[in-house]
Every structure is written in structure tokens, then in C-alpha cells.
Structure 1
Amino acid sequence: MEVLLICLLILCPVLIQGKSTIEPCSISGPCSALVGYVLPTDLKVSELATRFQVDPFSLLGANGFDPYASGAQTQILPAKSMVKVPIKCSCVDGIRKSVSTMYQANQVDTLQSIAESVFGGLVTWDQLKDANKIADTGIIDVGQSLVIPLPCTCFNGTDDGLPAVYMSYVVRNGDSLISIGKAFGTTVTDLMGVNSLQSSLITAGDILAVPLSACSSSNLNLSSDSDLLVANGSYALTANRCVQCNCGPNEMNLHCVESTLGTSCPSMQCNDSNLLIGDAIEQQTSAGCNVTACLYGGYLNGTIVTNLTNFLQPQCLGKYLGPVYTKPPTSPATTTQNSTIPESPSSAMSPSSHTIGVVKSNPASQPLGSSCPANEPLRWLSLLSIWITGLPYLIHVCAR
């Protein structure tokens, strides 16, 4: 005789889906953001760019990889390595998210496998269901095009009053706020403040907004590209790839120079000067270093705007030597100081005998997800699939 066990929530095993930081918004303009993505398999740069529908050169730039290296777009990035993927963070339904990535479902795909295996836990199955208005059964068609609502934050492009780009980072087993802070150049206090954390406790699967120090275009007085924000140690290509704007690693002023990656580039010479964008003449005086520089002023109606400027600085820095490129990974690397990257951080929490969201196969009723209100920064917690007498239930909890 089978014994029916009735469990209380505090006693029954539950599937916990990670918390994610939500930024309420009221303006529609997008900002530049990043997602930290752990490759499930070996992928070429071009393949990864296609997965997220981003320019391969933008992907190279976000990671500081040399765009002039032979085969830069076809170099293979190894499985389990983490890369920064640039995305545009929009204001959708009152919260910040990116909805520019699309994915075409394959025969073996389920909403759960797409969320966890393809996109590395950056999105949840119920978010996919809601974003694509999929029925509670979770059935998807082969070839169906799905919107992938990726998490992102902007926070006005600043952190403690300084320029910053925010990266959505999926917490891995073994991570701590200390190790994440050390890996990305921030502090536990900053991470707790940005993510509205009441304690330093984090769990694998949580998605944190990690502020990365950045260079803004405020020092250039741009007539366009006014929102150009580049994370430290990376670069951005603008003006149809004719201009490369570099940030850091030592100087946190955006330094824009001529790029050879563009085609049919307009003139980049400053008026009344032989200087090109990025060039400067320095002269040491008793008052300091007198600098005449040709600065990038933006891209307007197919024309590159240049600004010839003179200023005094404490000492002469010498000729700009260009960016310090990061060597692409050739083997899996850890994302933080003391943690390794599992193949699928959420897979250990997934019940093997049940599938959430299927492709035309054995439809099973799934509960409809709900969303947290977006009237202030919230921590979002979903408790999924509490198995009581074999039936799934879904509970959403919004916690400040």
C-alpha cells in the first residue's frame, strides 16, 4: 500500500531558481551593458556573436581581444570560459532588460534547456514563456523564433559617481562576493549596495549586477556617440568601424584613434593642423605640459567630427602607445579567484524526470509565471516545482 506523504514547504525539497537584480525604469532609451556568458561548448567568435545577434567586432572589443589579429573572428573560444557579451539594455514594461536577442528552437530544445544550456542561466524558462506568450503547457514548435529577455542594468552609467558599465553575472558554485569583487575590480560593499543585498550570502544561479569601471565620452564633447561608455581594458569601434575608442588600463579617459577596420572612411584630420584623431603634440613648460591634441568629436551624417584642442596638464605623458589587448582564452579559466565554472550551474537543481517546456511532445500543464512590481529596486526570487504528491506548483516571492 502506497503511503501518501503531505509535506510542508519548510520540509519538502524545492527547486530554487536564482535571484536577479531588477532596475525599474521610465525612459525608453537604451544603454550599453554586458552579460557574462559561460560557453557550454567550444564556439568561434563569429558563432557566439550570431547566438546573441551582436557584431563580432563588438564582442572582440568588449573582451579586449585584438581585432587586427589573423582570424580574429574565427578564433575558437573554449567551453567553460567566460566572455563578456555587449548588449543594449532597454526599458521594457517598466524594467531594464535586453530583448534584441532571438533564438530559433531546434528539435531537441525545451524552454528549460534553452534557458540553462544554451544561455547559461541568464534567463529562466518562465521568463521565456512569458516573453513569448507561450501557453502554460510550455510547448514550442521546431523553428519557432523566441525572444530571449536577457537581464541588464544601467543605473545611469555610474557607480559612486564614476563612469561604469554593468555586467549581469550568473553566480557559480564556489563564488563569493569577495572572489567576484576581486575578479572584477570592485568591493563587497559596492556589490551589496548595487544589488540591494541585506547580507553577503549568494547562491549559485543568482544573477548579480557587477559594476565595471569605465571611460565615458564626456571628456570628448561629442556631437554624436554621446552615450559612448567603454569598460576598463576594452574598446569600442564607432563611426562605421573607422574609429577605435580605447579605455585603460592605466588612464580612465577615452582615447579614440583611427581604425583600419572600416571601409571608405572620411577624413580624420583636424582643421588647421596636420594632426589626425588620437595624435598630440606635447611641450614641457615651467607651468606644466602644454598639449595640442586632435580629438574625436563624433560621427554625424557620414562625417567624422574632429576637435583641435589645447590644454595644460601636470606632466607630459609621451606618445600614446595604444591599447593593451587581452589574449583570448585557449583553455577553460575560472571566472573568479576561487571558483571553477561548472558546465551548467543550474543543472544540479533540475529534476531529471520532468521537463519544463517541450517541443510538441507530452504536453504537461505548467503554472503561469508572474512578475515582481517594478516600482523600486527589488530582489526577485522564484521557488519552482515544489513536488507534493507528484504535482508541480510554482511560487513567486518578491523580496526587498
Structure 2
Amino acid sequence: MPSSSTLAISLSFFLINIVAIAESKSTIEPCANSDSCNSLVGYTLYTDLKVSEVAALFQIDPIALLTSNSIDISYADVENHILPSQLFLKIPIICSCVDGIRKSVATRYKTRPSDTLASIADSVYGGLVSGDQIREANGNLVTDPTVLDVGMNLVVPLPCTCFNSSDNFLPAVYLSYVVREMDSLAGIAARFYTTVTDLMNVNAMGSVAVKAGDIISVPLPACASNFPRHASDFALLVPNGSYAITASHCVQCSCGPGNLNLYCTPASLAVSCSSMQCRNSNLMLGNVTAQPSSAGCNVTTCSYGGFVNSTILTTLSNFLQPRCPGEHQFPPLIAPPTTVTRDSMFAPAPAPSLSDGAGPKTPKSSFMPSSGSLPGFSPANGPIGSASDATNLVNPLSSFPTLAFLLLLLKLVLLTAL
């Protein structure tokens, strides 16, 4: 039978291992100003939810949720479409500078019966936040994390990074991704079309080791806008392979495939919108004309210039290029998902698919296609993302009462050994 001292040492190592398991890391970007950026969080549905319910969880526009995931918004009553459990979505959020670090605090959650901070953090928000972080963000509002009054309006701080909206000097949108059990850094890099080196630089990682519950920042190449500062959609960034809705649902902008030039057209939902015709021409937003000549091809385009004072700005441009542009290629759209296959359950995004095998589906709007026409400090060369310890609520042993009990048990064993 082992001695009390041996038992105490063994229990000590056991507790150290528990604490190590309970720790998870997330990338923290220090900041010193009040600016904000477009950002994304990766979210896996914990149950079947309507599009509008997912949007309400994150306080975002349901249509913005759909376009960020290249889901066709032209389907009837699409906001009430039921999305299947375990579907992975990219959630667009605004990343602000709060108390010297980047985070989003625009999301609020109204508590329901049987909610605890742990269940809200782990189940409802999929590990994007910890119970301790929710408690800290709400000050004296929460006195007992295991007993919450029904109807409490809690701030839920979500992780996000900006890094000047660039990666290796090219426009980028950063996705906060919760590492799953089966993930490796190489696998994450492959899924999001980046490199292990870039992920390590962005997240200030000393090794390729990741574990479930870690939250890492993933740079996604993006198309950058060049709108005036006074535009309501100033600094709009659209990740490659997706869409964004703007100008009060009147304009839809897309990025890729094949290039990183922002391309905007009238949205399929456009109803009561200001004029989208370019001045001194008969061209509408997104229209292009091409006239071959002996010197090349004269191309005229009507492009989007931002949304200012409820007015859609358009810009008419003429330029000569070597050859005439072909038909513009849009990122493939998918139908609103109804199932999640086993292989794609933990994929980082619903994979774009071809529509009925007939090629990429394009948004339903009236325009003439065109070929389309990238600020700052590179994360790979400099953003110092710091690894912070945050409770991993996926592990039941990470809860405070359990650790407190085990520490008390260790103290008793040590006293017995003496």
C-alpha cells in the first residue's frame, strides 16, 4: 500500500495535469485606439436553429449571416429556414478595442431557465468564450455563475483580431476559430487555404501544437473597398469566396474566385433603393461595356463607391486594357443547408457547391457582368499575438468548485502525511 507522502505526490501531479488540461489559449491583440474592423468568428450550431435565431445570438443581420457563408438569399422566407445542428458557420462581427485589447462586446444573451454561465459559454456559444469571461464582462450583475435569473441580459465578449486588416501586406479578414479534438495546425491551414507558418506568426506560436478549446486567429484573404471615410460602409472587407450585403440591402458585393477585386451589383433583395445608375451614362451598377480596338479594348464600368446619407454612390470609369474581359465569375452559392454529412460535420465552412452540375450559381439581380477591376502592417512581420489562459469549459474538471475540492483534498492528504 503506498505511503501518505507517495499518495500526496501522486495527487499533486494529478492536479497539475488537470490544470494543464483545463487551460486553453486564445490570441489576444493589444490595442490603443477606438477603431474597429470587420471580423469573423467560427461557430458550430449546438442544435437546430432558424437563420434568424442564429443571427439573434450574435446580434447581426440574418442576411449578412447568409451572404458571409455564400448561402443563396433568394429562397423564399430564407430567414426562417432551419439550419441543422453541427453546421459550421462564419459569423460576421465588428471587432473593437475594449480596455486595451481587441474583442467584440456587441452581443447580448437573454438567459433562459436552467442556464448557467458554463452552459451559455460552452453549449450556446460553442467555446468562443468562457464562463469567467462572461462573468467579468457583466460586473456585479452575476453573483452566482450556476444560478442565473431568467431574463438577464448578459454581455457576451467574443474573441476577435484586426491586425490592421492585413496579412503579409494584403487585405485580410481574421476568423477566430475554436480548435476541435481532431484538429491539427496543418489541417486548419489546409482548410482555410493558408500556411502553418502564417498561422504560427499570426498567433505568436512557439510550436505547431494545438489542443481542443484553443482559439486561434486565421487570416482569410479578402477584397478591400476604397470608399470615403464618411460612407457608412467605409473599410468594407469581403473574404475571398463569399459575399457581403450593404447599402440597406440594396447592394451585394462579392470577392473571387480568381482575383481579389471587390465586385458589387444590385442585390436580389433590392426594393426601395436610391438610383444605381452612373451619371452621364446609361450604365447601372455592375454594368460593363467593352469595345475592341486596334490599341486594345476600351472598357467602361459602373462601380460601387459606398453608401453615404442613404445615397448609393456610383463611379463611372474608362480604361484601356490589352484584351476584353470575359464574363465575371461569382463565388459559388449554396442552397440553405438542411443536413450536415459526417465528413463535413467539423469542416470550417459549408463547402461551396455547383448548382445542379451546371456551373457556379450567380445572384439573381439585373446587371451586366464584368471582370471587375488591395492597408498596413503585416501580421507575419509583427503583430504580437499573446497566448492567454482561459478556462476550457468543454472539460468538466475545469470548473472552479471541482478544482477547489481537489485542492482541499490535497491539503488533507499532506496534513495526514505529516
Specify if TM > 0.5.
yes
Change (3 A) 1:207 1:273: same
Per-residue deviation at 1:174? 1.0
State the TM-score, normalizing by the size of structure 2.
0.79
Per-residue deviation at 1:258? 1.1
Tell me if structure 2 keeps the 8 A contact 1:175–1:336: no
Per the alignment, residue 229 of structure 1 pairs with 237
Per-residue deviation at 1:340? 7.1
Change (3 A) 1:272 1:180: same
Residue 178 (structure 2) pairs with residue 175 (structure 1)? no
Q: 2:65 aligns with which of 44, 59, 65?
A: 59
Residue 244 (structure 2) pairs with residue 244 (structure 1)? no
Tell me if structure 1 keeps the 8 A contact 2:88–2:347: no
Supply the distance in 1 between the matched residues of 2:229 and 2:321 (Cα, whole angstroms): 21
Supply the distance in 2 between the matched residues of 1:307 and 1:297 (Cα, whole angstroms): 6
Supply the distance in 2 between the matched residues of 1:142 and 1:136 (Cα, whole angstroms): 14
In structure 1, runs of 5+ residues without a counterpart are 342-374, 394-400
Tell me if structure 1 keeps the 8 A contact 2:257–2:329: no
Per-residue deviation at 1:213? 0.9
Matches within 5 A, 1:135-284: 137-138=144-145, 139-218=147-226, 224=231, 225-284=233-292
Q: 1:40 aligns with which of 33, 43, 46?
A: 46
Q: How many pairs does the alignment contain? A: 357
Tell me if structure 1 keeps the 8 A contact 2:78–2:336: no
Per-residue deviation at 1:140? 2.6
State the TM-score, normalizing by the size of structure 1.
0.82
Per-residue deviation at 1:221? 6.7
SS in 2 for 1:89: strand
SS in 1 for 2:79: coil
Matches within 5 A, 1:8-87: 9-12=12-15, 13-14=17-18, 15-87=21-93
Supply the distance in 2 between the matched residues of 1:222 and 1:246 (Cα, whole angstroms): 21
Q: Which has the higher helix share?
A: 2
Tell me if structure 2 keeps the 8 A contact 1:333–1:340: no
Per-residue deviation at 1:99? 0.5
Q: 1:107 aligns with which of 88, 98, 113?
A: 113
Supply the distance in 2 between the matched residues of 1:74 and 1:22 (Cα, whole angstroms): 35
Per-residue deviation at 1:241? 0.9
In structure 2, runs of 5+ residues without a counterpart are 349-382, 392-397, 410-418
Per the alignment, residue 296 of structure 1 pairs with 304
Per-residue deviation at 1:290? 2.1
Residue 142 (structure 2) pairs with residue 126 (structure 1)? no
Supply the distance in 2 between the matched residues of 1:143 and 1:286 (Cα, whole angstroms): 71
The one-letter code sitting in structure 2 at the alignment partner of 1:210 is V
Q: Which has the higher strand share?
A: 1
Per-residue deviation at 1:75? 1.9
Per the alignment, residue 355 of structure 1 pairs with none
The one-letter code sitting in structure 1 at the alignment partner of 2:22 is I
Per the alignment, residue 387 of structure 1 pairs with 403
Q: Provide the aligned C-alpha RMSD in A.
A: 2.6
Tell me if structure 2 keeps the 8 A contact 1:222–1:296: no
Per-residue deviation at 1:101? 0.6
Change (3 A) 1:284 1:318: same
Per the alignment, residue 6 of structure 1 pairs with 8
SS in 2 for 1:387: helix
Tell me if structure 2 keeps the 8 A contact 1:121–1:170: yes
Supply the distance in 1 between the matched residues of 2:342 and 2:247 (Cα, whole angstroms): 35
Deviates more, 1:89-98 or 1:297-306: 297-306
SS in 2 for 1:6: helix
Change (3 A) 1:107 1:391: farther
Change (3 A) 1:231 1:222: same
Percent identity of equivalent pairs: 50
Change (3 A) 1:212 1:65: same
Per-residue deviation at 1:70? 2.4
SS in 1 for 2:27: strand
Cα offsets for 1:140-186 (capped at 9, x unmatched) = 32211110000001111111111111111000011011111111111
Tell me if structure 2 keeps the 8 A contact 1:82–1:333: no
Supply the distance in 2 between the matched residues of 1:60 and 1:136 (Cα, whole angstroms): 37
Deviates more, 1:293-302 or 1:92-101: 293-302
Per-residue deviation at 1:333? 4.6
Deviates more, 1:242-251 or 1:319-328: 319-328
The one-letter code sitting in structure 2 at the alignment partner of 1:101 is T
